Amino acid sequence: MKNRLKVLRAERDWSQQDLAERLGVSRQSVNAIEKGRYDPSLPLAFTISEVFELPIEAIFGRD
């Protein structure tokens, strides 16, 4: 699954650590999701959506 985390993060000038703190997860988690090495669970995807104030489909998409 591809995602726009890096772009959205850059637009807000957030580091991976900043985003990790907002999501309540580790920096490794953010890195793994951002790089497409790990697909988040639905609850975490909803949390990401809330943090960026965007619908899930605006953040994640099929490869």
Name the residue nearer to another protein (CB basis): 28 or 61: 28
SS3 string, 5-27, reads HHHHHHHHCCCHHHHHHHHCCCH
Residue 25 or 51 with smaller CB distance to another protein: 25
Asked if 34 touches another protein (CB under 8 A), the answer is yes
Q: What is the nearest approach in angstroms of another protein to the Cβ of residue 47?
A: 11
Write the DSSP assignment of 28-43 as a string of letters: HHHHHHHTTSSPPPHH
- The correct pick among 1, 7, 12, 24 for binding another protein (CB under 8 A) is 24
